[in-house]
Structure 1
Amino acid sequence: MDIRTLACFVAVAEDLHFRRAAERMNLTQPALSQRIRALEGEVGADLFERDRRGVALTPAGAAFLGPAREAVRHASMAKAEPLRAVRGEVGRLRLGFTPIAFYGVLPEAVQAFRIRHPQVKVDLIEMSSPKVEAALASGDIDLGVLHPPVSRDLILYALPDEPFVLALPATHRLAEQAVIRVADLAHEPLLIAPRSIGPSIYDRVIALFTAEGISPRIVQEVTLMTTLVGLVAAGTGLGFVTSSIGRATRPGVAYRPVLPPPPSLPIAAAWHKPTLSASGGRFLEVVRVLVEQGEFARAAS
């Protein structure tokens, strides 16, 4: 009892006309009639009454119509699901991201993706940028949002950089200035992320001080920027954070631009060669639209 034959039965039952049903099923009338006779033999009962006046369902045919329709409908759905999975419309997206990346417009992108593709389950996995690289290489995630440069063979889609601002205690004397010069930070206690998790940014921040003839007084290395802000509130020191972190205001902390400008933090979507998963491609489409609309730039401003 194949699905094609059941679909032929449904067509005849709905049209009550063998020729029209045959045209609908793209079959010759004899071929359609042969399928119906074979189905009746398999069911063990006549499904149609045929006479010169036309075609009508028998009681057995009327009882069989509902289950046949359901079988055809479920078969059509089953056939469509693999194609939807190939197109990234169903399934799962494993998205790895750094804590800093999720302070920008990434939550908006995830929300827009979930609205557009509600049948794709999104797994959000927070990790450091090097761990995002490793997870992409091992296949543990489909798509990552990290901070270049990268040490692995990945494909990158650049997102707008995150500018840095200086976080300092609101009661600090420098908080009275609208803009703080790097030269003003001589001898100030500096909080900074360890070089092991961001060597490029670390070296560029140090170079910013060196160019001004200053040797920065690093009092503590802090892995998370949110922790750094907490330490600033506690009066431990001053430190650079992204502008998106700065928008999440915290009592006792002020944020000021610095001249010369500190390095901005690069952000990119990344995936492992050779291809991006279908669900990852769908998510990247949402991200690209937001970038074109300037949402990432506004989030970073």
Structure 2
Amino acid sequence: MDIRTLACFIAVAEDLHFRRAADRMNLTQPSLSQRIRALENEIGAELFERDRRGVALTPAGAAFLGPARKAVEHANAARTQALRAVRGEVGHLRLGFTVIAFYGVLPEAVRAFRARYPDVEVDLIEMNSPLLEAALAAGDIDLGVLHPPLSTPDLIAHPLPDEPLVLALPSAHRLAEQAAIHVADLDGEPFLLAPRAIGPSIYDRVIALFQTEGLSPRIVQEVTPMTTLAGLVAAGAGLGFVTAGIARVARPGVTYRPVTPAPPSLPMAAAWREPALSASGRRFLEMVRTLVAASGS
């Protein structure tokens, strides 16, 4: 009892005319009649009375019409939902991100995505970059916004604009009066830095920045995430680099200044596990790309 045959039965029941119903279903009349006869044989009852005066529903046909309509409606609804899932308009998206990522276009992208695709359930999961890689590899999340380079095999990364770094220092610090701070000015200053295990590439590049000036940073505390680092700066624990996105959010007691030579920027990327990103993930990534392009980043 296929949906096409049920639709043929409904057409005949509504038109009470085999030829008109056949035209409506883009079938020949013999083909339509054959489908109706096969349906009656499957049910074990005649659905139509046929005589020279025309066509009429039998009591069995009248009883069958309502459920047949519902079956076709449900089948059409199921097909529509399936196609929407293929297009990424319905379903579930597990989105992982670092704290730093949420100081860029990501919050706006999530808001816009939820508004456009309200039938996609979005789970937001915050982790550091290495844990996001592990979660992607394990299939625990669909898409992660993190910091390359990636060390986990079988992950695909789509680059996003890097986040420049600026120096966070206590507002009462003597260097806060300067419009820009030279790396040499940081000699001997208590420095806060994320552990190398969290981001070995950026850690090594920050150390190299000091070494180009013949210095070694006096690291007094390793701290993550950068929002916590900014809090420690406010508490007078030291100085440290944060992203420009974090610096855009004013924090009492903290001043942000550019540094020369320029510190390394923090790379950003959207990553997923091979072989392909889910349809809803592709839709979300399109949203991020659009917002990045609009911002001119």
Fold-level match, TM-score > 0.5?
yes
- SS of alignment partner, residue 277 of structure 2: coil
* Kept in 1: contact 2:105–2:292 (CA 8 A): no
User: What does residue 97 of structure 1 align with?
Assistant: 97
Shift in Å, 1:46: 5.6
Identity of aligned residues (%): 77
Aligned pairs, number = 296
- SS of alignment partner, residue 65 of structure 1: helix
After superposing the two structures, state which structure 1 stretch, 10-19 or 99-108, moved more.
Answer: 10-19
Deviation track 1:257-293 (CA, whole Å, cap 9, x = no partner) reads 1111111100011122222222222222222222332
Change (3 A) 1:45 1:151: closer
Structure 1 residue 23 corresponds to structure 2 residue 18: no
Tell me, in whole angstroms, the C-alpha distance in 1 between the residues paired with 2:3 and 2:159.
48
Deviation track 1:223-251 (CA, whole Å, cap 9, x = no partner) reads 11111111111111111100111112111
Deviation track 1:67-111 (CA, whole Å, cap 9, x = no partner) reads 321110101222343343333332222222111111211111122
- SS of alignment partner, residue 71 of structure 1: helix
| TM-score relative to the length of structure 2 | 0.90
User: What does residue 231 of structure 1 align with?
Assistant: 232
User: What does residue 248 of structure 1 align with?
Assistant: 249
Deviation track 1:3-42 (CA, whole Å, cap 9, x = no partner) reads 2222112112333321121122232212322433454566
Tell me, in whole angstroms, the C-alpha distance in 1 between the residues paired with 2:171 and 2:14.
77
* Kept in 1: contact 2:165–2:242 (CA 8 A): yes
Tell me, in whole angstroms, the C-alpha distance in 1 between the residues paired with 2:258 and 2:13.
75
User: What does residue 126 of structure 2 align with?
Assistant: 126
Alignment of 1:108-119 (within 5 A): 108-119=108-119
After superposing the two structures, state which structure 1 stretch, 107-116 or 62-71, moved more.
Answer: 62-71
Alignment of 1:1-301 (within 5 A): 1-40=1-40, 47-48=47-48, 50-52=50-52, 54-57=54-57, 61-153=61-153, 154-294=155-295, 297=297
- SS of alignment partner, residue 160 of structure 1: strand
After superposing the two structures, state which structure 1 stretch, 283-292 or 32-41, moved more.
Answer: 32-41
How large is the Cα RMSD of the aligned pairs?
2.2
Tell me, in whole angstroms, the C-alpha distance in 2 between the residues paired with 1:271 and 1:38.
50
Q: Which runs of 5+ in 1 are unaligned?
A: none
- SS of alignment partner, residue 215 of structure 1: coil
Shift in Å, 1:43: 5.7
After superposing the two structures, state which structure 1 stretch, 46-55 or 142-151, moved more.
Answer: 46-55
After superposing the two structures, state which structure 1 stretch, 261-270 or 58-67, moved more.
Answer: 58-67
- SS of alignment partner, residue 271 of structure 1: strand
* Kept in 1: contact 2:105–2:288 (CA 8 A): no
State the one-letter code of the partner of 1:22. Answer: A
* Kept in 1: contact 2:89–2:280 (CA 8 A): yes
Q: Which runs of 5+ in 2 are unaligned?
A: none
